[in-house]
Amino acid sequence: MSALPPREGGGATSTQARAPRRWRTLLGWAILGVSGCVAPVALGPHAPVRNGPHADSMAAYAMGVRCMLQHRWGDAIDYLAEAARRDPSSARVRRELGRVLLLEARDDEALRWLEEAAALAPESSAGLLELAEGYRRTGDTERALDCLWALHEKRPQQDEPLILLHALLLVLEREQEGVQLFTWVALETRPDWPFAQEALGDFLLRTGRIAEAEGYYEDALQMGGSVRSLSRKLQLIEQRRAQDDEAPPDPGLDLTAATPASR
């Protein structure tokens, strides 16, 4: 597979911008998918270490995962924090603890644990999605974008990084970066994915390239994309064209005198 094209620069227009709520939904599904059912184990918060240096850490982690599957978030945080205390080298424990803290909107704490997990396993792509969310919630949108780009480069066939890049770049009004990314995805790496066609159309529409946007929306519709979303966007294009046709010319603007050389 071809490498991702180089990312264009440019700062965020608002570090306090908020992406759609689907971020939380995706994180919720990530939580529910971490493990199967775990058998209960007996563990007190100050139980002595037994059967090896990390035996009780594993037991606490198992109980934490069990509580997560039961949506007992407070208990899950307690068990996972205990597991992290007993095993300072476990990136997995810190990653899961960060995920639960995000669900509880304890963003600063979550970010600390997720950063620790990333530092312990710098080559792993696990947790990058949640780390991006932690940065986004705490206002560091540049680092959020960096995490999503890194995750996309490591897992180019994974949907979530691209979905969230689309959302965040739109919120930050980074249209040119969005056009660059989704032109590559729609034409090279994921040409049969309706979302890629629709996302490219969104960025093209933002930059005033209406006819091109319309073409990608129609392609997405033919590929089985969301009829409701795409029909609404195509209708918006028709309304915009009708408004442009009805608008009187600006008497103060001499279009005939404007040439590419004179602009």
Please report the pLDDT score of residue 8 as a whole number.
52
| Domain 20-155 and domain 173-245 have a common topology | yes
* CATH number of 173-245, picked from 1.10.760.10, 1.25.40.10, 3.30.450.40, 1.20.1090.10: 1.25.40.10
Q: What DSSP state is assigned to residue 110?
A: H
Q: Which two tokens stand for residue 83?
A: 């597991």
In contact, 206 and 170? CB cutoff 8 Å: yes
The residue ranges of DSSP E strands in 27-91, in sequence order, are: none
pLDDT tens-digit map of 81-136: 999 999 999 999 999 999 999 999 999 999 999 999 999 998 888 889 999 999 99
In contact, 95 and 126? CB cutoff 8 Å: yes
Domain ranges of the chain: 20-155, 173-245
Q: Label residue 4 by pLDDT band (50, 70, 90).
A: low
Q: Which two tokens stand for residue 172?
A: 């930050």
- Alpha helices (H) along 172-249: 175-184, 194-206, 210-222, 227-246
pTM: 0.67
Residue linked to tokens 């999503």 = 148
The whole-angstrom separation of Cα 179 and Cα 202 is 9
Q: Dihedral angle at the C-alpha atoms of 127, 128, 134, 135, nearest 10 degrees?
A: 160
* CATH number of 20-155, picked from 1.25.40.10, 1.10.10.410, 3.40.190.170, 3.40.640.10: 1.25.40.10
Angle of helix 159-171 versus helix 128-137 axis, rounded to 10: 20
In contact, 66 and 102? CB cutoff 8 Å: no
In contact, 144 and 132? CB cutoff 8 Å: yes
Q: Label residue 54 by pLDDT band (50, 70, 90).
A: low
